[in-house]
Amino acid sequence: MSRKPDSALPPYFNIDPARAASKLGDTVTTERFAKAAAFCGRGRDDLAKRGYSPDGRKHLRRFSMWEVTRYLLPVASAHLRRVLKAHPELPQGEGDANSRSFTLEEVLALRDYFDREGSAAKEYRPWRPEGLPAKICAVTNFKGGSGKTTTCAHLAMAAALDGYRVLVLDLDSQASMTSLLGGQVQDEWQTVFPLIARDYARAVTAENELRAARGETALPLDETLTEALTVSSRNLIQKTHWPNIDLIGAQLNLYWAEFQIPVWRMGLKTWALWDALRNFLTEDGLLDEYDIVFLDTPPALGYLTINSLAAADILLVPLGASFLEFDSTGRFFDMLYSTFASIEDGENAQRRIAGLPEMRFEWDVVRAIITRFDANQQTDLANVIQAYFGDFMTAYRQEFTALVGQAGEQINGIYEADYREFNRDTYLRGRDAFDRTYAEFKELLLGTWWRDDQERKAV
């Protein structure tokens, strides 16, 4: 039997230890991490600017007449031209009659006009029942790379194009969503952190009033908590380059909240830490000001994620059609059960003693979404996942599209990408993938609002 020549051996054979050692460089100290972070920071800024305008900020592109009449308004292009000619006071766009383009602000103004003057049989503005609060949607999974931020960002953009007023909360200290939306966050005091601190400080203040009445020692309110009492969410909300998407951004120091929240809870065990996020959304009137609040959560089931999930009406759980992601997502649901059932058990034990009604967590709807789907390779496994998750799974599987990667090179979502810069079939296929995802989400959204509206009318 002849022996295979060395050139046919796998590359992990015959590695020379001395040569390997010569490639290592000096041993690494902690200072080297700071240097690497500085290099990455400069590189990140450089890459981000490629998707920004010369002024260093992101700007939303204009939308062509073809896009406006195909995707944004249920109006034929010829009819829109006639309306614009007859009503010079309406936004006229830019360019000549055959090649006009419009800003999204102009499209929103046209929506309002057609909603007042157009056909009663057409939907020019998306439905939301009057008098009901915004819906909060958390996009969550503790498996990194599941498409969580991409899905959340594109749902927010699609909802904005549809005419909804959107608020996005970035709760992930990696701040990918903040980068996509062009946010600028200097420190943790420009994130949700001071709003969670404010909730705790208010709970301490209320507890101290009770203690004063009983002649007991007050709990301390340190400088951080005292300052947090003066914070308003409206001072933290940033306008983005989308006229109807606002942002509370994230930054690396937001991760500090994961350590501080349990310390606060130990200081005041009656503080319902899981309610902090929803409390400020409600108390500051944000659920009346916006139609949809999207929460982009960290890839871990920590205290920020618990806050997000407890605040949410709708949970979306993206996962890829692979065994490992299916397995991880199943464990994620198991951890959700353990975490929230444990909170319910602990709280209700105290409530029964005090003669108070028991509490429980409820969500309007929960759906898992298969992302980055390749029908040629993953159909069989996706069918298995669908069978096991049943009604927890959306019907549409979000197909993998090269458009996401190409748009991402310019720090953009596909709804921000100019279709004229892509192969037409690539653009249409990629756009359709996210349009169909948004359509399923919108069906969930309208269904939950309608159900709430029926319950309200029945009272």
Question: Mind listing the pLDDT tens digit for each residue in 378-388?
Answer: 888 888 888 88
Angle 424-458/148-161 helices, nearest 10 degrees?
A: 80
pLDDT at 72: 95
**SS3 for the chain, per residue?**
CCCCCHHHCCCCCCCCHHHHHHCCCCCCCHHHHHHHHHHHHHHHHHHHHHCCCCCCCCCCCCEEHHHHHHHHCCCCHHHHHHHHHHCCCCCCCECCCCCCEECHHHHHHHHHHHHHHCCCCCCCCCCCCCCCCCEEEEECCCCCCCCHHHHHHHHHHHHHHCCCCEEEEECCCCCHHHHHCCCCCCCHHHCCHHHHHHHHHHHHHHHHHHHHHHCCCCCCCCHHHHHHCCCCHHHCCEECCCCCEEEECCCHHHHHHHHHHHHHHHHCCCCCHHHHHHHHHHHCCHHHHCCEEEEECCCCCCHHHHHHHHHCCEEEEEEECCHHHHHHHHHHHHHHHHHHHHHHHHHHHHHHHHCCCCCCCCCCEEEEEEECECHHHHHHHHHHHHHHHHHHECCCCCECCHHHHHHHCCCCCCCCCCHHHCCHHHHHHHHHHHHHHHHHHHHHHHHHHHHHHHHHHHC
Spans of the chain below 70 pLDDT: 1-7, 33, 37, 39-41, 43-56, 144-146, 403-411
Q: Which pair of tokens denotes residue 264?
A: 């606060």
Q: Which pair of tokens denotes residue 31?
A: 């200072």
pLDDT at 229: 96
The strand pair at 238-239 and 245-248 is best described as antiparallel
pLDDT at 136: 97
pLDDT at 55: 57
Output the CA torsion sign for 165, 169, 174, 178: positive
* 340-372 pLDDT, tens digit each: 999 999 999 988 998 889 988 999 999 889 888
Give the predicted TM-score (pTM) of the model: 0.88
pLDDT at 238: 96
Q: Which of 247, 160, 136 is nearest to 438 (CA)?
A: 160
Q: Which pair of tokens denotes residue 136?
A: 């909060």
pLDDT at 15: 78
Q: Which of 338, 350, 410, 398 is nearest to 372 (CA)?
A: 398
pLDDT at 187: 93
pLDDT at 375: 79
